[in-house]
Amino acid sequence: MIEAKTLSKRYNERLVVQDVSLQIPRGGVTAIIGPNGAGKSTLLSMISRLTPMSAGSVEIDGMDVTRTPGPELAKRLSILRQHNQTSLRLSVRDLVAFGRFPHSGGRLTAEDQHHIDEALDYLSLNEFQDRHLDELSGGQRQRAYVAMVMCQDTDYVLLDEPLNNIDMRFAVDMMQLLRRAADEKGKTVVVVLHDINFASCYSDHIIAMRGGKLAWQGTPDEVMRDEILSELYEIPMQVHELNGQRICVYFRMG
């Protein structure tokens, strides 16, 4: 379980995340949604110890993220940031192999190689494994990074807007993959999403943030409601039931 207690982040005088307490249970897919500047990414960075918190605490299965040794935490939790544009020319396989670093410290064992092959397979990257990252399309590159965190094989996988820059087909592929990682491998996936319909269709739990605060949380059925979403995004939004899925329409209202 991920447990955040009275978590705050202050940049100079500006509170980006304010007094957020929440629990993310083990297993399943949790989506974090909210308008720009709601503090979603900052919250995710603090949970994954990439950004130091100004106040509060985060525990992963009872381990305080600020006090647990880095290598220990790296075997439990992986995080993929939104801006992971590296200028390094690495082959896809080499990049994915770095996911094994917490386990093997760079000396790859046969078991590591197996994990790498599996991750490449899982993201259909086999044919690209020897290409350099700069030779890939945006979608392929994004998949390579996701393959790396999958290869890290942690119980908790945190992703910040993994659907950025990829088209609808790869976005659907990506969400199905995250769903499978949760269902088949028992991972706990926490993902920041801008497209609330993806959150609605693929997650078990939605956390909605606004102005640095936790605004709502619950199952998609509980959060995907006209009045909640309209208030969250400050535009008129209507939720419709289509093929048993709750789909929100907001493109042109009134």
**Whole-number Å distance between alpha carbons of 188 and 24:** 9
Secondary structure (3-state) at 90: coil
CB of 4 to other proteins, least distance (A): 18
> Using CB under 8 A, which of 5, 10, 81, 179 touches other proteins?
81
**Whole-number Å distance between alpha carbons of 184 and 186:** 6
Residues of this chain, 187-206, that bind other proteins according to CB under 8 A: none
Q: Is 113 in the site for other proteins (CB under 8 A)?
A: yes
Rank residues 191 and 206 by Cβ distance to other proteins and give the closer one: 191
Residue 159 near residue 30 (C-beta atoms within 8 A)? no
Rank residues 101 and 250 by Cβ distance to other proteins and give the closer one: 101
Q: Is 186 in the site for other proteins (CB under 8 A)?
A: no
Q: Is 87 in the site for other proteins (CB under 8 A)?
A: yes
Residue 212 near residue 17 (C-beta atoms within 8 A)? yes
Residue 16 near residue 42 (C-beta atoms within 8 A)? yes
> Using CB under 8 A, which of 63, 90, 136, 172 touches other proteins?
90
Which x/- pattern, by CB under 8 A, does the window 221-250 give for other proteins?
Answer: ------------------------------
Rank residues 67 and 75 by Cβ distance to other proteins and give the closer one: 75
Residue span binding other proteins (CB under 8 A) among the ranges 17-25, 126-134, 185-193, 219-227: 126-134
CB of 32 to other proteins, least distance (A): 18
Q: Is 122 in the site for other proteins (CB under 8 A)?
A: no
Give the DSSP H or E segment for 72. Answer: helix 70-74
CB of 227 to other proteins, least distance (A): 37
The CA-atom distances, in angstroms, between 169 and each of 31, 116, 126, 139, 163 are: 19, 24, 18, 10, 10
The CA-atom distances, in angstroms, between 251 and each of 100, 213, 239 are: 43, 26, 12
Beta strand segments in the chain, E = 2-11, 14-24, 28-33, 55-60, 63-64, 77-80, 156-160, 188-192, 205-210, 213-218, 238-242, 245-249
> Using CB under 8 A, which of 26, 67, 75, 185 touches other proteins?
75
CB of 224 to other proteins, least distance (A): 31
Closest CA to 92 of 119, 62, 70, 68: 119
> Using CB under 8 A, which of 29, 44, 73, 166 touches other proteins?
73
**Site residues for other proteins per CB under 8 A:** 48-50, 69-75, 78-81, 84, 86-91, 93-94, 98-99, 101-102, 105-106, 113, 117, 120, 126, 129-130, 132, 149, 152
